[in-house]
């Protein structure tokens, strides 16, 4: 679960959680809701399942690359390409537990910040596309992250983390890591998408 704190100029609203039935987060948000600033703070209990999933996917793709002799060479190369960012994220997630530095994401009318991506704000007006990135593992779809594509000029203003640089190189986009349970992930996706829609982002 992720703790969420919503603040506006009229005073601090009480903290809510993603699964809270009274929360405006995790659904199509009204314009008044997207005028507030929301801070999403990760809990350590959410990191362990993500590490297990990422590690399993990484091992699967590495196995397919090195021991999948029956697969075409192109598939094996793609498996290596996919495993690189997954392994990087897995290592960083493990490091967060050791260093007690957890994921914090802030959504405001101006844009969003994500401690896993860069300390600078990403303006909503720079967002050109937003979608859910997923992969298939043993016949089951795994939701990995929210993939955000931004204008080329907007990248120059960001001091990207190592993992964000690698993901940008691999996909040409940035990934907002999944910080909620899988059942709530699609609801989580609607929150930044609603902000982007309300403040000039080009999203469907």
Query: Which H, E and C letters describe 66-128, residue by residue?
Result: HCCCCCCHHHHHHHHHHHHHHHHHHHHHHHHHHHCCCCEEEECCCEEEECCCEEEEEEHHHEE
pLDDT in tens, 113-147: 998 899 999 999 999 999 988 776 666 767 778 99
Residue 44 reports pLDDT greater than 70: no
Determine the Cα–Cα distance for residues 189 and 28; give it in Å rounded to an integer: 10
Q: Are 122 and 158 a contacting pair, CB within 8 Å?
A: yes
pLDDT in tens, 165-204: 989 998 999 998 765 555 578 888 889 999 999 999 988 7
**Residues near 82 by beta carbon (within 8 Å), at least 6 away in sequence:** 61, 135
In angstroms, how far is CA 192 from the centroid of its own chain? 10
Q: Where are the domains of the chain?
A: 2-43+103-198, 48-97
pLDDT at 3: 46
Provide the phi-psi class of 186: left if phi over 0, else alpha when psi is between -120 and 50, else beta.
Answer: alpha
**Helices 73-99 + 47-66 axis angle, to 10:** 150
Percent of the chain predicted with pLDDT > 90? 29
Burial 65-74 (b: 16+ CB within 10 A, else e): beeeeeeeee
Supply 100's token pair. 């007690």
The pLDDT confidence band at residue 46, using thresholds 50, 70 and 90, is: low
Q: Are 2 and 40 a contacting pair, CB within 8 Å?
A: yes
Q: Are 171 and 147 a contacting pair, CB within 8 Å?
A: yes
Angstrom distances, CA of residue 184 to CA of 1, 18, 59, 123: 9, 8, 26, 25
The pLDDT confidence band at residue 148, using thresholds 50, 70 and 90, is: very high
If one compares 42 and 190, the residue with the highest pLDDT of the two is 190
């Amino acid at each position: 679960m992720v703790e969420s704190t919503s603040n506006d100029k009229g005073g601090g609203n009480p903290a809510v959680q993603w699964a809270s039935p009274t929360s405006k987060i995790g659904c199509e948000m009204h314009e008044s809701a997207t005028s507030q600033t929301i801070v999403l703070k990760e809990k350590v209990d959410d990191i362990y399942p993500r590490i297990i999933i990422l590690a399993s996917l990484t091992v699967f793709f590495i196995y397919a690359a090195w021991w999948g002799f029956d697969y075409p060479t192109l598939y094996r190369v793609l498996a290596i390409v996919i495993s690189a960012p997954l392994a990087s994220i897995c290592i960083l997630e493990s490091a967060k537990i050791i260093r007690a530095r957890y994921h914090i994401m802030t959504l405001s009318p101006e844009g969003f910040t994500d401690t896993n991506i860069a300390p600078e704000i990403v303006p909503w007006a720079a967002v050109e596309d937003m979608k859910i990135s997923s992969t298939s593992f043993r016949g089951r779809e795994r939701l990995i992250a929210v993939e955000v594509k931004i204008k080329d000029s907007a990248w120059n203003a960001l001091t990207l983390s190592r993992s964000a640089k690698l993901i940008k190189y691999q996909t040409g986009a940035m990934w907002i890591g999944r910080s909620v349970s899988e059942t709530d992930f699609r609801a989580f996706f609607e929150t930044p998408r609603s902000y982007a829609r309300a403040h000039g982002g080009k999203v469907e």
